C-alpha cells in the first residue's frame, strides 16, 4: 500500500525536516574535539534518518493509534487463560515513586532496604498463597518461570543420583508453554489423555509412570477451567515413582485463599504476577513469573535470595546448589512492585473474595450461555470455561473465528479461540472478578444475538468485523511474510 492510500500515515511519513518534539541543549564539547574523544569508527558521518515531528503531532499520532486497540480499560476482555482483569491505577502510582522507579540495580544493599523488604514481603505473601517454603522473583514471565521451575526439579534429581530422569508428563489440555518448557530443559514430553470429566485420565497416567519420570506438569484448575478432583491421587501416583509435581499457576485466580497447591502435593509452583496479580500484560510488555518451592527444593533456587538477619535485609549469593541466575539482577522489579501493591490493597481476605467472585462470574456466564453454545464439560467451572461453536458450525457453517470476529463489531474483545485443543471450535471465556453484572449481562446478550445471527444472517458473520479500522486479515501472509521494518519509498 502506498502512503497516500493508508488511512493513517506512519510516523516516518509524517516527518518534516526541522520539526522537533524535544530540543537538546547545544553541545558543550567543541565539534573538532569530538574526533579526539570518540573512537573514529563510532563517529557517524551523517545523522540517522529518524522521523522529525513536533510534540503535538507525535502525541496525536500515538493517541490515535492507541484508540484503535482494544484494552481492558476500554471494554470487556474475556480472553481465557490470560486473566485480563482490570489493573487498579494505584499500582501505577506506587511503581512511579522515585525510590522504586529510579533505583539503580548496583545500589548497595544498605541504601535499598525498602526495595529489598518489598521483595521479601512479596515472597512471603506468595508462599502463603501457595503453601510454599521459598519463592524467587527472578523469572520474567510464566514460561520463564516454568523453565526455572523445571530446571530446579532437574537439579534436584541430579543431586539425588537420579540424573537419568528425563520424562515430563503433560496432559492434553496443557498450555503450550508446558511441553515447550520440557523441551527447553532437554526432557522428553509424554502426553496423557483427559477423562470424560476433563481431568487427567488415571489409566492413561498409570501407563506412563516409571523410574524415568522427572515431573508431571499440571494446571489445576486446568485450561478447561475444571478442578481435577483426583489431584491427591495423581500426586501420590507421581511421587510413588520418584517424580515431582509442577503446578502451572499462571492463573491462580480461582484458588487464592481457597486452595494451596502445596497442600495438594505440588512441589514447585509458578505464578504470573501479570495475570493473577493485576499488572498489565500483552504486547510483549514486561511480566513476572515468580517460582515457589517446598522445603526440599530450596537449595536449588536461583541466586541471589533476599534474606533478613534480624536488623537488615541483604542478598545471598552463597548458595552452592543453586541453578544460578535466570535473569539479570532481580527480575522485573517494577512488575513486582505493582503485584505487591495489588496484594496489599486487597489484603488476604480481599484476594480470597477476588477468587470467589472470579469463579462466580465464570459460572454466571456459563449458565446463561450453555443453551446457545455447546458446552462439552457441563459441570461447575472455576475461573473460566470453554464453550464451542460446534452447533453453529454443523447447522449454519459458522466457525468460532466468525463468532470471535463478530464480537469486535459489538465492541468486546473475543475470548481465546481454538484452545484448549481437545475442544473443537473452542471459545475459552474468562470474565475475571473485576466485571460488573451489567457488563456480564451485556456480553450474554451479545453472544446470544450472535448465535441468532448465525441462523438468520450467516453472511454477516463470515464478513465480520465490519466496524473496525481493518477487516479480516490474511493471517497466513501476516505470519509467513511479516513486514516488520519500515522501508522508505524511493
Give residues in contact with ligand PLP (CB under 6 A). 81, 141-143, 175, 177, 219, 223, 248, 250-251, 272, 287, 289
80 vs 265, which CB is nearer to ligand PLP? Answer: 80
3-state SS, residue 172:
coil
181 vs 399, which CB is nearer to ligand PLP? Answer: 181
- Whether omega before 221 lies within 30 degrees of 0, making that bond cis, reads yes
248 vs 435, which CB is nearer to ligand PLP? Answer: 248
Angle at 247 (CA atoms; ends 284, 124), nearest 5 degrees: 80
Where are the strands (E) in 371-467, listed by range? 374-375, 385-388, 416-417, 426-429
Q: What's the gap between Cα 260 and its chain centre?
A: 20
3-state SS, residue 308:
strand
Smallest gap from residue 218 Cβ to ligand PLP (A)? 10
Specify whether the CB–CB gap between 279 and 91 falls below 8 A: yes
3-state SS, residue 328:
coil
384 vs 402, which CB is nearer to ligand PLP? Answer: 384
122 vs 272, which CB is nearer to ligand PLP? Answer: 272
Q: How many angstroms separate the CA atoms of 68 and 22, rounded?
A: 26
Q: How many angstroms separate the CA atoms of 261 and 263, rounded?
A: 5
123 vs 248, which CB is nearer to ligand PLP? Answer: 248
Smallest gap from residue 397 Cβ to ligand PLP (A)? 31
Smallest gap from residue 140 Cβ to ligand PLP (A)? 8
Smallest gap from residue 195 Cβ to ligand PLP (A)? 19
Tell me which residue has its CB nearest to ligand PLP.
142
Smallest gap from residue 219 Cβ to ligand PLP (A)? 5
Smallest gap from residue 222 Cβ to ligand PLP (A)? 8
Q: How many angstroms separate the CA atoms of 268 and 266, rounded?
A: 6
Smallest gap from residue 146 Cβ to ligand PLP (A)? 7
Specify whether the CB–CB gap between 135 and 126 falls below 8 A: yes
Contacts of 340 (CB under 8 A, 6+ apart): 118, 121, 122, 125
168 vs 209, which CB is nearer to ligand PLP? Answer: 168
Amino acid at each position: 500500500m502506498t502512503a497516500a492510500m493508508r488511512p493513517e500515515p506512519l510516523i516516518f511519513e509524517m516527518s518534516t525536516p526541522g520539526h522537533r518534539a524535544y530540543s537538546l541543549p547545544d553541545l558543550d564539547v567543541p565539534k573538532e574535539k569530538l574526533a579526539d574523544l570518540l573512537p573514529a569508527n563510532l563517529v557517524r558521518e551523517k545523522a540517522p534518518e529518524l522521523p522529525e515531528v513536533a510534540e503535538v503531532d507525535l502525541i496525536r499520532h500515538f493517541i490515535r493509534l492507541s484508540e484503535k486497540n482494544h484494552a481492558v480499560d476500554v471494554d470487556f476482555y474475556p480472553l481465557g487463560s490470560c486473566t485480563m482483569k482490570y489493573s487498579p491505577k494505584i499500582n501505577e502510582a506506587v511503581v512511579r515513586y522515585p525510590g522504586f522507579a529510579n533505583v539503580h540495580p548496583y545500589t548497595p544493599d544498605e541504601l535499598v532496604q525498602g526495595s529489598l523488604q518489598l521483595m521479601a514481603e512479596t515472597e512471603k505473601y506468595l508462599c502463603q498463597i501457595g503453601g510454599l517454603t521459598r519463592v524467587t522473583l527472578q523469572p520474567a514471565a510464566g514460561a520463564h518461570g516454568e523453565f526455572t521451575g523445571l530446571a530446579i526439579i532437574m537439579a534436584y534429581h541430579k543431586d539425588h543420583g537420579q540424573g537419568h530422569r528425563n520424562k515430563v508428563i503433560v496432559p492434553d489440555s496443557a498450555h503450550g508453554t508446558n511441553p515447550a518448557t520440557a523441551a527447553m530443559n532437554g526432557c522428553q514430553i509424554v502426553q496423557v489423555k483427559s477423562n470424560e470429566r476433563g481431568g487427567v485420565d488415571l489409566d492413561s497416567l498409570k501407563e506412563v509412570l516409571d523410574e524415568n519420570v522427572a515431573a508431571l506438569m499440571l494446571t489445576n484448575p486446568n485450561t478447561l477451567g475444571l478442578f481435577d478432583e483426583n489431584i491427591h491421587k495423581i500426586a501420590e501416583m507421581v511421587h510413588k515413582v520418584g517424580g515431582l509435581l509442577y503446578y502451572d499457576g499462571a492463573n491462580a485466580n480461582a484458588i487464592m485463599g481457597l486452595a494451596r497447591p502445596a497442600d495438594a502435593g505440588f512441589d514447585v509452583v509458578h505464578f504470573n504476577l501479570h495475570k493473577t496479580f493485576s499488572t498489565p500484560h500483552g504486547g510483549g510488555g514486561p511480566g513476572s513469573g515468580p517460582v515457589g518451592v517446598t522445603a526440599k527444593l530450596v537449595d536449588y533456587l536461583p541466586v541471589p535470595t533476599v534474606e533478613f538477619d534480624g536488623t537488615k535485609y541483604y542478598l545471598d549469593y552463597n548458595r552452592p546448589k543453586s541453578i544460578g541466575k535466570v535473569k539479570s539482577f532481580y527480575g522485573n522489579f517494577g512488575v513486582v512492585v505493582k503485584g505487591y501493591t495489588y496484594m496489599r490493597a486487597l489484603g488476604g481476605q480481599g484476594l480470597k473474595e477476588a477468587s470467589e467472585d472470579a469463579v462466580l462470574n465464570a459460572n454466571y456466564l456459563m449458565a446463561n450461555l450453555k443453551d446457545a453454545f455447546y458446552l462439552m464439560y457441563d459441570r461447575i467451572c472455576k475461573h473460566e470455561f470453554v464453550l464451542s461453536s460446534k452447533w453453529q458450525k454443523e447447522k449454519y457453517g459458522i466457525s468460532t473465528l466468525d463468532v470471535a470476529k463478530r464480537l469486535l463489531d459489538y465492541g468486546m474483545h473475543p475470548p481465546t479461540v481454538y484452545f484448549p485443543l481437545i475442544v473443537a471450535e473452542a471459545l475459552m471465556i474468562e470474565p475475571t472478578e473485576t466485571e460488573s453484572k451489567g457488563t456480564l449481562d451485556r456480553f450474554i446478550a451479545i453472544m446470544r444475538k450472535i448465535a441468532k445471527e448465525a441462523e438468520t444472517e450467516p453472511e454477516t458473520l463470515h464478513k465480520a468485523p465490519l466496524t473496525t479500522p481493518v477487516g479480516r486479515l490474511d493471517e497466513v501472509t501476516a505470519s509467513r511474510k511479516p513486514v516488520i521494518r519500515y522501508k522508505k519509498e524511493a
